[in-house]
Protein backbone atom coordinates (compact mmCIF):
# COMPACT_ATOMS: atom_id res chain seq x y z
CA UNK A 1 0.00 0.00 0.00
CA UNK A 2 1.53 3.28 -1.11
CA UNK A 3 1.57 6.10 1.39
CA UNK A 4 -0.54 8.95 0.02
CA UNK A 5 -0.21 12.67 0.47
CA UNK A 6 -3.50 14.33 1.51
CA UNK A 7 -5.01 16.87 -0.87
CA UNK A 8 -7.27 19.52 0.72
CA UNK A 9 -9.92 21.34 -1.28
CA UNK A 10 -10.42 25.01 -0.39
CA UNK A 11 -12.84 26.69 -2.77
CA UNK A 12 -11.40 26.58 -6.27
CA UNK A 13 -7.95 25.60 -5.08
CA UNK A 14 -6.30 22.40 -3.88
CA UNK A 15 -3.75 22.47 -1.10
CA UNK A 16 -0.97 19.90 -0.82
CA UNK A 17 1.60 19.84 1.96
CA UNK A 18 4.37 17.34 1.40
CA UNK A 19 5.42 16.27 4.89
CA UNK A 20 6.53 12.70 4.29
CA UNK A 21 9.73 11.60 2.61
CA UNK A 22 8.89 12.12 -1.04
CA UNK A 23 9.53 8.51 -2.16
CA UNK A 24 9.35 7.77 -5.86
CA UNK A 25 6.04 5.94 -5.60
CA UNK A 26 4.55 8.58 -3.27
CA UNK A 27 5.48 11.23 -5.83
CA UNK A 28 3.89 9.37 -8.70
CA UNK A 29 0.77 8.65 -6.63
CA UNK A 30 0.46 12.37 -5.84
CA UNK A 31 0.64 13.21 -9.54
CA UNK A 32 -2.26 10.82 -10.25
CA UNK A 33 -4.37 11.86 -7.26
CA UNK A 34 -3.97 15.55 -8.02
CA UNK A 35 -4.96 15.13 -11.64
CA UNK A 36 -8.10 13.24 -10.54
CA UNK A 37 -9.04 15.89 -7.98
CA UNK A 38 -8.48 18.79 -10.38
CA UNK A 39 -10.99 17.22 -12.75
CA UNK A 40 -13.45 16.13 -10.04
CA UNK A 41 -13.58 19.55 -8.35
CA UNK A 42 -12.90 21.67 -11.47
CA UNK A 43 -10.08 23.23 -9.47
CA UNK A 44 -8.39 26.29 -10.90
CA UNK A 45 -5.32 26.37 -8.69
CA UNK A 46 -2.97 24.01 -6.85
CA UNK A 47 -0.71 25.13 -4.01
CA UNK A 48 2.12 22.72 -3.18
CA UNK A 49 4.01 23.36 0.04
CA UNK A 50 7.47 21.77 0.11
CA UNK A 51 8.80 23.54 3.22
CA UNK A 52 9.31 20.18 5.00
CA UNK A 53 11.25 18.63 2.14
CA UNK A 54 14.97 18.38 2.79
CA UNK A 55 15.97 17.72 -0.78
CA UNK A 56 14.63 17.60 -4.32
CA UNK A 57 16.53 15.39 -6.73
CA UNK A 58 16.07 15.27 -10.50
CA UNK A 59 13.35 12.63 -10.24
CA UNK A 60 11.27 14.67 -7.77
CA UNK A 61 11.94 17.79 -9.80
CA UNK A 62 10.62 16.05 -12.86
CA UNK A 63 7.48 14.89 -11.04
CA UNK A 64 6.82 18.41 -9.70
CA UNK A 65 7.34 19.83 -13.19
CA UNK A 66 5.02 17.23 -14.68
CA UNK A 67 2.35 18.03 -12.09
CA UNK A 68 2.49 21.69 -13.13
CA UNK A 69 2.39 20.86 -16.83
CA UNK A 70 -0.46 18.37 -16.47
CA UNK A 71 -2.55 20.71 -14.35
CA UNK A 72 -1.97 23.49 -16.88
CA UNK A 73 -3.44 21.24 -19.56
CA UNK A 74 -6.45 20.83 -17.27
CA UNK A 75 -6.90 24.61 -17.00
CA UNK A 76 -5.35 24.83 -13.55
CA UNK A 77 -2.37 26.82 -12.21
CA UNK A 78 0.29 25.40 -9.87
CA UNK A 79 2.32 27.38 -7.35
CA UNK A 80 5.18 25.79 -5.40
CA UNK A 81 5.84 27.37 -2.01
CA UNK A 82 8.30 27.10 0.87
CA UNK A 83 11.40 25.85 -0.91
CA UNK A 84 14.40 25.84 1.43
CA UNK A 85 17.30 28.02 0.18
CA UNK A 86 19.67 25.02 0.37
CA UNK A 87 17.37 23.11 -1.99
CA UNK A 88 17.21 26.04 -4.42
CA UNK A 89 21.02 26.17 -4.55
CA UNK A 90 21.33 22.41 -4.96
CA UNK A 91 18.67 22.20 -7.67
CA UNK A 92 20.32 24.97 -9.66
CA UNK A 93 23.71 23.29 -9.47
CA UNK A 94 22.18 19.95 -10.38
CA UNK A 95 20.59 21.55 -13.44
CA UNK A 96 16.87 21.35 -12.61
CA UNK A 97 15.14 24.50 -13.78
CA UNK A 98 11.46 23.69 -13.07
CA UNK A 99 10.45 25.73 -16.07
CA UNK A 100 6.81 26.71 -16.21
CA UNK A 101 6.22 26.28 -12.49
CA UNK A 102 5.38 29.39 -10.44
CA UNK A 103 6.92 29.77 -7.01
CA UNK A 104 6.33 31.87 -3.90
CA UNK A 105 8.24 32.02 -0.64
CA UNK A 106 5.34 31.47 1.73
CA UNK A 107 1.95 29.79 1.54
CA UNK A 108 0.33 33.21 1.99
CA UNK A 109 2.22 34.71 -0.95
CA UNK A 110 1.44 31.58 -2.91
CA UNK A 111 -2.30 31.98 -2.38
CA UNK A 112 -2.07 35.63 -3.50
CA UNK A 113 -0.19 34.57 -6.62
CA UNK A 114 -2.74 31.85 -7.37
CA UNK A 115 -5.59 34.35 -6.97
CA UNK A 116 -3.85 36.71 -9.38
CA UNK A 117 -3.23 33.95 -11.92
CA UNK A 118 -6.84 32.78 -11.63
CA UNK A 119 -8.39 36.25 -11.92
CA UNK A 120 -6.19 37.10 -14.90
CA UNK A 121 -7.74 34.17 -16.64
CA UNK A 122 -11.29 35.17 -15.68
CA UNK A 123 -10.68 38.68 -17.01
CA UNK A 124 -9.52 37.19 -20.26
CA UNK A 125 -12.68 35.11 -20.47
CA UNK A 126 -14.95 38.12 -19.84
CA UNK A 127 -12.95 40.12 -22.35
CA UNK A 128 -13.53 37.34 -24.84
CA UNK A 129 -17.26 37.47 -24.17
CA UNK A 130 -17.34 41.21 -24.82
CA UNK A 131 -15.68 40.72 -28.17
CA UNK A 132 -18.13 37.96 -28.98
CA UNK A 133 -21.07 40.25 -28.13
CA UNK A 134 -19.82 42.93 -30.49
CA UNK B 1 43.43 8.92 3.76
CA UNK B 2 42.03 6.94 6.68
CA UNK B 3 38.57 5.40 6.61
CA UNK B 4 37.06 6.01 10.04
CA UNK B 5 33.81 4.17 9.56
CA UNK B 6 31.90 2.52 6.80
CA UNK B 7 28.52 1.04 6.14
CA UNK B 8 26.87 -0.56 3.15
CA UNK B 9 23.31 -0.41 1.87
CA UNK B 10 21.86 -2.70 -0.78
CA UNK B 11 19.94 -0.99 -3.58
CA UNK B 12 17.31 -3.37 -4.90
CA UNK B 13 14.18 -1.25 -5.21
CA UNK B 14 12.89 2.30 -5.02
CA UNK B 15 12.46 2.19 -1.25
CA UNK B 16 16.18 1.46 -0.91
CA UNK B 17 16.94 4.84 -2.51
CA UNK B 18 15.19 6.48 0.45
CA UNK B 19 17.13 4.22 2.84
CA UNK B 20 20.42 5.31 1.24
CA UNK B 21 19.34 8.94 1.56
CA UNK B 22 18.56 8.64 5.25
CA UNK B 23 21.80 6.74 5.97
CA UNK B 24 23.80 9.44 4.19
CA UNK B 25 21.87 12.11 6.04
CA UNK B 26 22.76 10.52 9.37
CA UNK B 27 26.45 10.30 8.49
CA UNK B 28 26.81 13.85 7.14
CA UNK B 29 25.11 15.17 10.27
CA UNK B 30 28.08 13.80 12.25
CA UNK B 31 30.44 16.14 10.39
CA UNK B 32 30.03 19.87 10.51
CA UNK B 33 28.77 20.31 6.98
CA UNK B 34 26.70 23.41 6.27
CA UNK B 35 23.04 22.85 5.49
CA UNK B 36 23.71 23.61 1.81
CA UNK B 37 26.50 21.02 1.66
CA UNK B 38 24.38 18.44 3.52
CA UNK B 39 21.62 18.98 0.97
CA UNK B 40 24.08 18.68 -1.92
CA UNK B 41 25.53 15.40 -0.60
CA UNK B 42 22.12 13.82 0.05
CA UNK B 43 20.89 14.91 -3.38
CA UNK B 44 24.00 13.54 -5.15
CA UNK B 45 23.53 10.25 -3.26
CA UNK B 46 19.92 10.09 -4.36
CA UNK B 47 20.87 10.65 -8.01
CA UNK B 48 23.55 7.95 -8.00
CA UNK B 49 21.44 5.45 -6.05
CA UNK B 50 18.74 5.86 -8.67
CA UNK B 51 21.31 5.30 -11.43
CA UNK B 52 22.35 2.03 -9.78
CA UNK B 53 18.73 0.88 -9.79
CA UNK B 54 17.73 2.19 -13.20
CA UNK B 55 20.83 1.47 -15.25
CA UNK B 56 22.63 -1.17 -13.21
CA UNK B 57 19.63 -3.27 -12.20
CA UNK B 58 20.54 -2.80 -8.53
CA UNK B 59 23.73 -2.86 -6.54
CA UNK B 60 25.23 -1.39 -3.43
CA UNK B 61 26.05 1.94 -1.82
CA UNK B 62 28.99 2.30 0.56
CA UNK B 63 29.08 5.24 2.92
CA UNK B 64 32.42 6.11 4.52
CA UNK B 65 33.69 8.73 6.90
CA UNK B 66 37.21 9.59 5.79
CA UNK B 67 40.00 11.50 7.49
CA UNK B 68 42.96 13.21 5.85
CA UNK B 69 44.69 15.08 8.63
CA UNK B 70 43.51 18.66 8.26
CA UNK B 71 40.21 17.69 6.72
CA UNK B 72 37.48 15.13 7.14
CA UNK B 73 34.92 14.04 4.62
CA UNK B 74 32.30 11.67 3.43
CA UNK B 75 32.97 9.30 0.57
CA UNK B 76 30.09 7.55 -1.17
CA UNK B 77 30.60 4.67 -3.60
CA UNK B 78 27.89 3.22 -5.80
CA UNK B 79 28.50 -0.07 -7.50
CA UNK B 80 26.34 -2.11 -9.82
CA UNK B 81 26.77 -5.15 -12.02
CA UNK B 82 24.88 -3.73 -14.98
CA UNK B 83 25.95 -3.38 -18.56
CA UNK B 84 28.55 -0.74 -17.81
CA UNK B 85 28.94 2.56 -19.62
CA UNK B 86 30.35 2.37 -23.15
CA UNK B 87 30.84 6.15 -23.60
CA UNK B 88 31.81 8.17 -20.49
CA UNK B 89 31.84 11.54 -22.24
CA UNK B 90 28.29 11.06 -23.44
CA UNK B 91 27.12 9.73 -20.06
CA UNK B 92 28.49 12.81 -18.30
CA UNK B 93 26.64 15.18 -20.63
CA UNK B 94 23.64 16.96 -19.15
CA UNK B 95 20.46 15.84 -20.81
CA UNK B 96 21.87 12.60 -22.19
CA UNK B 97 20.05 9.57 -20.84
CA UNK B 98 19.40 6.00 -21.83
CA UNK B 99 16.77 5.74 -19.09
CA UNK B 100 13.63 7.68 -18.31
CA UNK B 101 15.21 10.47 -16.24
CA UNK B 102 16.43 13.92 -17.18
CA UNK B 103 20.03 12.86 -17.75
CA UNK B 104 21.37 15.02 -14.92
CA UNK B 105 22.52 12.29 -12.53
CA UNK B 106 26.23 11.85 -13.27
CA UNK B 107 27.11 15.39 -14.33
CA UNK B 108 24.95 16.82 -11.54
CA UNK B 109 26.49 14.61 -8.85
CA UNK B 110 29.95 15.68 -10.05
CA UNK B 111 29.03 19.36 -9.74
CA UNK B 112 27.55 18.90 -6.26
CA UNK B 113 30.63 17.17 -4.81
CA UNK B 114 34.38 17.93 -4.47
CA UNK B 115 35.70 14.72 -6.00
CA UNK B 116 34.20 12.38 -8.53
CA UNK B 117 35.50 9.21 -10.13
CA UNK B 118 33.89 6.65 -12.33
CA UNK B 119 35.13 3.28 -13.49
CA UNK B 120 33.21 0.99 -15.73
CA UNK B 121 34.31 -2.44 -16.80
CA UNK B 122 32.02 -2.47 -19.80
CA UNK B 123 30.28 -4.84 -20.24
CA UNK B 124 30.05 -5.69 -16.55
CA UNK B 125 29.35 -3.08 -13.92
CA UNK B 126 29.98 0.51 -13.00
CA UNK B 127 31.43 2.11 -9.89
CA UNK B 128 31.02 5.78 -9.09
CA UNK B 129 32.74 7.36 -6.07
CA UNK B 130 32.06 10.86 -4.80
CA UNK B 131 33.65 12.74 -1.91
CA UNK B 132 32.90 15.97 -0.09
CA UNK B 133 35.46 17.49 2.27
CA UNK B 134 35.13 19.61 5.33
CA UNK B 135 37.92 21.50 7.10
CA UNK B 136 38.61 20.04 10.50
CA UNK B 137 37.51 22.45 13.20
pLDDT for A4-22, tens place per residue?
899 999 999 999 999 877 8
Q: What is the pLDDT of residue A128?
A: 52
**Contact (CB<8Å) B36/A58:** no
The residue of A18, A24, A29, A90 whose CB has the most chain B CBs within 10 angstroms, and thus the best one to mutate to test that interface, is A90
Contacts of B46 in chain A (CB under 8 A): 55, 57, 59
Mean confidence (pLDDT) of chain A: 89
Q: Helix, strand, coil proportions of chain B in percent (round to 5)?
A: 40, 35, 30
Select the more confidently predicted residue: A131 or A87.
A87
Domains of chain A by start residue, with CATH: 7-133 (3.30.750.24)
**Contact (CB<8Å) B39/A89:** yes
What is the value of ipTM here, to two decimals? Answer: 0.88
Q: What is the pLDDT of residue A18?
A: 93
pLDDT for B13-29, tens place per residue?
999 999 999 999 999 99
pLDDT at A130 exceeding the cut of 70: no
Percentage of residues of chain A with pLDDT beyond 90: 71
**Measured CA distances, A47 to A20, A71, A89, A91 (Å):** 17, 11, 22, 20
Select the more confidently predicted residue: A121 or A54.
A54
**Contact (CB<8Å) B21/A95:** no
Q: Could you tell me the residue range of the domain that residue B7 belongs to?
A: 2-135
Contacts of A93 in chain B (CB under 8 A): 40, 108, 111-112
Mean pLDDT on B98-117 = 85
The residue of B38, B39, B52 whose CB has the most chain A CBs within 10 angstroms, and thus the best one to mutate to test that interface, is B39
Look at chain B and report how many structural domains it folds into. 1
DSSP per residue over chain A, as a string? Answer: ------EEEETTEEEEE--S---HHHHHHHHHHHHHHHHHHT--EEEEE-TT-S---HHHHHHHHHHHHHHHHTT-EEEEE---HHHHHHHHHHT---TT-EEESSHHHHHHHHHHHHHHHHHHHHHHHHHHH-
Select the more confidently predicted residue: B135 or A45.
A45
pLDDT at A134 exceeding the cut of 50: no
Percentage of residues of chain A with pLDDT beyond 70: 88
How close B2 comes to chain A (CA, Å)? 28
B17, B43, B50 ranked by CB distance to A94: nearest: B43
User: CATH number for the domain including B22?
Assistant: 3.30.565.10
Amino acid sequence: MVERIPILKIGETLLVTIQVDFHDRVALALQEDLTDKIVTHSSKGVLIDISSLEMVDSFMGRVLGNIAKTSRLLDCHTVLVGMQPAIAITMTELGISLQGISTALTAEDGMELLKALMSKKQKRVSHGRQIARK
Amino acid sequence: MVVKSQESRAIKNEDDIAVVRSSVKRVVALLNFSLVNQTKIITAASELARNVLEHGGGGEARIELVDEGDRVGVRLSFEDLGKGIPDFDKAMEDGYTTGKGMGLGLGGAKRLMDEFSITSNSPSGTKVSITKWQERI
